[in-house]
Amino acid sequence: MHCTVITASRSRGIGGGLTYETTDASVKPGSRVLVPLRNALVEGIVLAVTEKRAQEDFDVKMVKEVLSNQPLLTEAQIKTLLWVAEYYHCTVRHALSVFLPAPPWNTLAEHPETFYKVQEVETATRGTKQKLVTEFLAGKEWVMEDELRAATGASRATLKALEEKGVVAREERMHTPLSPHSPASLQSPTLTTDQESAYQSIKKNSHPSLLFGVTGSGKTEVYAALIADALREGKGAILLVPEILLTEHIIGRFEELLGGREKIAILHSRLTNAERRSEWRRVRRGDARLVIGSRSALFAPVDKLGVIIMDEEHEWTYKNEQTPRYHARETAEVLARNADAKFLMGTATPSLESWSRTKSGTYHLARLPKRYKDAALPTVRVIDLADAAFGKQYPFTEPLIDAIRERLARGEQSVLFLNRRGVASALLCLQCRRRVVSASSQKPFTVHRSGQGRAFLLDHTSGERSDMPALCPHCSSARLHAVGAGTQKIEDLLTQIFPNARLLRADSDTLTHPEHMRLLLKKMREGSADILLGTQSVVKGLDLPEVTLAAVLVADVGLSLPHFRAGERIFQLLTQLTGRSGRTKPGEVIIQTFRPGAPEIEFASRHETEAYLEQELKLRLYSSYPPATRMLRLVTKKGAAKAEELRRACEETSQKKDLRLVVSAAPTLFGGGSTWHVLVRGANPTAVIPSLDLEGVTLDVDPLDCV
How much is the pLDDT for 114? 86
In this structure, which amino acid lies at residue 652? E
Q: Set out the domains of the chain in order of their start, with CATH numbers.
A: 2-106 (3.40.1440.60), 113-173 (1.10.10.10), 183-372 (3.40.50.300), 379-423+489-618 (3.40.50.300), 426-483 (no CATH), 630-701 (3.30.70.600)
pLDDT of amino acid 2: 92
**What does residue 217 show for φ and ψ, rounded to 5 degrees?**
-85, -10
Residue 190's SS3 state is coil
Alpha helices of 438-565 — where are they, by DSSP H? 487-497, 514-525
Judge whether residue 239 has pLDDT over 90. Answer: yes
Distance CA 586, CA 380 (A): 12
Q: Is the dihedral of CA 264, 268, 273, 275 positive or negative?
A: negative
Confidence of residue 23 (pLDDT cuts 50, 70, 90): very high
Q: Is residue 219 a contact partner of residue 311, using CB atoms and an 8 Å limit?
A: yes
| Cβ atoms within 10 Å, residue 337 | 15
Q: What are 265's strand-pairing partners? A: 291
> What was the pLDDT predicted at 423?
42
More confident residue, 508 or 269: 269
Q: Is the pLDDT of residue 582 over 60?
A: yes
Look at residue 342 in the predicted model and tell me its pLDDT.
98
DSSP designation for 689: G
What pLDDT, on the 0 to 100 scale, is given for residue 120? Answer: 65
Q: Which amino acid is at 477?
A: S
Per-residue pLDDT at 3 exceeds 60: yes
**Cβ neighbour number for residue 256 with a 10 Å cutoff:** 12
Query: Each residue of 625-645: pLDDT tens digit?
Result: 999 999 999 999 999 999 999
User: Is the pLDDT confidence value at 420 over 70?
Assistant: no
- State how beta strands 503-506 and 480-483 pair: unpaired
Q: Indicate if the pLDDT at residue 429 is higher than 80.
A: no
What number is the average pLDDT over the span 167-174?
A: 85
Rounded to two decimals, what is the model's pTM?
0.84
Confidence of residue 422 (pLDDT cuts 50, 70, 90): very low
Among 47-56, 386-395, 422-431, where is mean pLDDT lowest? Answer: 422-431
Say what the pLDDT of residue 424 is: 47
User: 352-392, pLDDT tens digit by residue?
Assistant: 999 999 999 999 999 999 999 889 999 999 999 888 887 77
| pLDDT band at residue 181 under the 50/70/90 scheme | low
pLDDT (0 to 100) of residue 513 = 73
